[in-house]
Amino acid sequence: MEVVKQLEQLRTTRRKCSDPFGLVPTMGYLHEGHLSLVRCAMSECASVGVSIFVNPTQFGPNEDLTAYPRDLERDLSLLSAEGVDLVWIPEVEGLYPPGDPTWVDVEGLTEYLEGAKRSGHFRGVTTVVAKLFNAFQPTKAYFGQKDAQQARVIQRMTEDLLLPIEIVICPIVREVDGLAMSSRNSYLNPEQRQAATVLWRALGHAGSLYDAGERNAGNLREGMLDVLNAEPLARVQYVSV
Ligand code: PAF
């Protein structure tokens, strides 16, 4: 496995990799969700690259950029065990040269749900993903269904910029109690970790209502809100069907 920092090193190593080439962009602190993307890429591509970069532009001023968990040594050992060919760990200045920046911004789709709560978040995501796509020139790129709006926004960006890259969306990987795996789960203390299963329980409740014949989106949302509001540690930002 080649681990590189500089763009030129990445380009040289990438040229030696066979196509189809699969890219898994990550912010590191890898878990089974990331590894499921890597495994999917390995099964579909002749070579696979992973980027590890905690992208500052997708964090708001009051978000967790400095606290975001990092463990590069562990990440590299996990990726090596999976048989990944190439890992890029760029520096911030490597992806964001000093001076006025260029942004990639998908309109419309980014204005509601997560986008309404996190101003500028998706602009940071699409800008960095466009840069990663240009640097790696992958045939396919792999993202998780957990970040459903992000996945759709990246698909739209890829279509609109006429990029010859297939976006593959892989299923959510959950802990045994249903909580979706996320690097940020490491922030939770045991009480919060237990409470966080309310997300899965609320979704399950909506699923049961649906299976029982409910087709009114407002009623499905109300059902989920009932479950979420019964959890004292939960603060609802949005519920959508
Ligand atoms: O989903 C993530 O981990 C990040 O948003 C991504 C796609 C790697 C861009 O920084």
- How many angstroms separate the CA atoms of 57 and 106, rounded? 15
Name the amino acid, one letter, at 81: A
Which of ligand 1's atoms lies nearest the C-alpha of 51?
Answer: 8
In the sheet where 86-88 sits, what is the strand order?
2-4, 86-88, 47-52, 21-26, 140-144, 166-170
Distance of alpha carbon 140 from the chain centroid: 15
User: Do residues 25 and 1 lie in contact, with contact meaning Cβ atoms separated by under 8 Å?
Assistant: no
Residue in the block written with tokens 């990092």: 70
Decide: pTM greater than 0.75. yes
Compute, in angstroms, the gap from residue 214 CA to the centroid of ligand 1: 35
What pLDDT is stored for residue 16 in this prediction?
98
What pLDDT is stored for residue 195 in this prediction?
98
What pLDDT is stored for residue 204 in this prediction?
98
Which residues make beta-bridge pairs with 47? 21
Per-block average pLDDT, block size 10, for the chain (241 residues)? 98 98 98 98 98 97 95 98 98 95 97 96 98 98 98 98 98 98 97 98 98 98 98 96 92
The residue to mutate among 29, 53, 58, having the most atoms of ligand 1 within 8 angstroms of its beta carbon, is: 58
Which of ligand 1's atoms lies nearest the C-alpha of 144?
Answer: 1
- How many angstroms separate the CA atoms of 113 and 102, rounded? 25
Phi, psi of 19 (to 5 degrees): -100, 155
Residues with CB under 6 A from ligand 1: 25-27, 55, 58, 125, 128-129, 147, 150
What pLDDT is stored for residue 240 in this prediction?
94
- How many angstroms separate the CA atoms of 85 and 79, rounded? 9
34 catalytically annotated: yes
